[in-house]
Structure 1
Amino acid sequence: MPFTLSTPVTSELIIKKSRFIGCVQPMQDRASAQAAVDALWQQHPGAAHICWALLAGGQSAAVDDGEPSGTAGRPMLDVLRHQDLEGVLATVVRYFGGVKLGAGGLVRAYTDTVAQALLQADKVPLQRMCTLHCQVPYALEGLVRREVELAGATLIGVHHGTLVQLQIRLPEAQAAAFEQRLNDSGQGRVGWVAQTALSS
């Protein structure tokens, strides 16, 4: 089962006078990852490199940021893969200390920085989530809201038209039972639109 992280965790290594500041954190897509890297550049304008790796399905990326090709981003991505992670961004800010490390030294430095952060990270099982869309008469809106709260689900959208349309996000494993409960308590007055599945 894949895991993600509950919160960001940082680490720091000094190797031959170069300073490596690592961070691993939950991240869903490449746009968010790029924004996080841009923020790091603002915090560390004097850094020589900010290398990063994102493991997030089809949005995965590995960026060497000027280090020799294959010495930073790809090895960092491999560390995330070996830990069975998904939806995780690893970044390493490098301040150059004047001593070249060579290709093997760079690979070790970047992987060790990420691995050290992961040692302290709180891993949580990744649940497949889905979004349910239902429409109900106005009289049933309160009932649906109560059921959402009881199930620990999230109400992500409500639209008031002829009927009330609600979007509900919850773990895929709970979806069928949730639909059944609403159908029973709504006495056939709950309409369902096709659901979409996604990972959390």
Structure 2
Amino acid sequence: MPFTLVGPCELREEIRKSRFITLAAPISTPAEAQAFIEQNSDLNATHNCWAWKLGDQYRSSDDGEPGGTAGRPILAAIESQDFDQVVVLVIRWYGGIQLGTGGLARAYGGGANKCLQQAERLPLIHRVALHLDCSFSELALVKVRLADMSGLIQEESFTANGVELSIAVSPEQVDTLQKQLADISRGRIVLRRDTHA
């Protein structure tokens, strides 16, 4: 079963006079991953190397380190511990001693591994994608019902008539959610399955 993080975590270590800070956090979109990297990167550091994984999507960056010595080992640490929907950023301040390509891969991958090992995990629940339309006045209640079921809002778009939502809930909760939404809207809100999935 894949896991994500309950919240952000951090690991600090020194390896042969280089300082490393590893930061990890849960994400739900590629944009969130990029925002986390931009907000937490230290422009005064020598390197800000990172990787993220979100389902079938993933990216990584060596940020100036020799190719394959930082981003890929960080990504490998995420995958080897069965994490998903996670971003990891490793910030390095060079301390004057070269680590070599093997040493770099061990430092970046090892920091990511240790940081994720000590973090609190949250199992990722299988969810089905659904769509619904609701009025502006119903939106807050719809969000409460979804939160009660650990559902996710994947997309929210406002139209002239109300709000279109793309959501994801566990398959067992679809019928219950449909009943609750029908009660809120006097039968007007109908869940539609994602036909693209």
| TM-score class, shorter | 0.7 to 0.9
| Residues 170/60 of structure 1: CA separation in 2 closer, same or farther (3 Å cut) | closer
Shift in Å, 1:182:
4.9
Q: Partners in 2 of 1:190 and 1:38 — Cα distance?
A: 42
Structure 2 partner of 1:91 = 89
User: Structure 1 residue 76: deviation in Å?
Assistant: 0.7
Q: Name 1:33's counterpart in structure 2.
A: 33
1:5 and 1:186, CA in 2 relative to 1: closer, same or farther beyond 3 A?
closer
Question: Could you tell me whether the CA contact under 8 Å between 2:145 and 2:180 is conserved in 1?
Answer: no
2:54 match: 56
Distance 1:93 1:180, change over 3 A: same
The code of the aligned residue for 2:44 comes to G
Which secondary structure state, in structure 2, belongs to the residue aligned with residue 192 of structure 1? coil
Aligned twin of 1:16: 16
- Using the aligned pairs only, state the percent identity: 34
CA distance in structure 2 between the partners assigned to 1:68 and 1:147 by the alignment: 46
Quote the Cα distance in structure 2 between the aligned partners of 1:95 and 1:68. 15
Q: 1:182 and 1:99, CA in 2 relative to 1: closer, same or farther beyond 3 A?
A: closer
Distance in 2 of aligned mates of 1:9 and 1:39: 15
Matches within 5 A, 1:7-156: 7-41=7-41, 44-129=42-127, 130-134=129-133, 145=141, 149=145, 152-153=148-149
2:130 and 2:192 in contact (8 A); partners too: no
Q: Is the 8 A contact 1:155 1:166 kept in 2?
A: no
Structure 1 pair 148–14 and aligned structure 2 pair: CA distance change class (3 A): closer
- Offset of 1:119 from its aligned partner? 2.0
Quick one: which amino acid aligns to residue 175 of structure 1?
A: V
* TM-score, normalised with respect to structure 1: 0.77
Partner-residue secondary structure (3-state), 1:50: strand
For 2:60, give the aligned amino acid: A
Q: CA RMSD in A?
A: 3.4
Cα distance in 2 for residues equivalent to 1:147 and 1:38: 29
Q: TM-score, normalised by structure 2?
A: 0.78
Aligned counterparts of 1:46 and 1:188: Cα–Cα separation in 2: 57
Q: Please state how far the C-alpha of 1:179 moved relative to its aligned partner.
A: 1.5
Answer yes or no: is the 8 Å Cα contact 2:181–2:189 preserved in 1: no
Matched AA of 2:192: A
Indicate conservation of the 8 Å contact 1:148/1:168, yes or no. Answer: no
**8 A Cα contact 1:155 1:167, kept in partner:** no
Matched position secondary structure for 1:66: coil
Measured in 2, the distance between the counterparts of 1:106 and 1:14 equals 13
Greater displacement, 170-179 / 92-101: 170-179
In structure 2, relative to structure 1, the CA distance for the partners of 1:30 and 1:75 (3 Å cut) is: same
Distance 2:134 2:81 in 1: 41
Provide closer, same or farther for how the CA distance between residues 187 and 34 of structure 1 changes in structure 2, counting only shifts above 3 A: closer
The structure-2 alpha-carbon separation of the partners of 1:40 and 1:167, relative to structure 1 and needing over 3 Å to count, comes to: closer
Identify the residue that residue 177 of structure 1 maps to in structure 2. 176
Residues 12 and 135 of structure 1: CA distance in aligned 2, closer, same or farther (over 3 Å): closer
Which of 67-76 and 144-153 deviates more? Answer: 144-153
Unaligned runs of 5+ residues in structure 2 are: none
Alignment size in residue pairs: 188
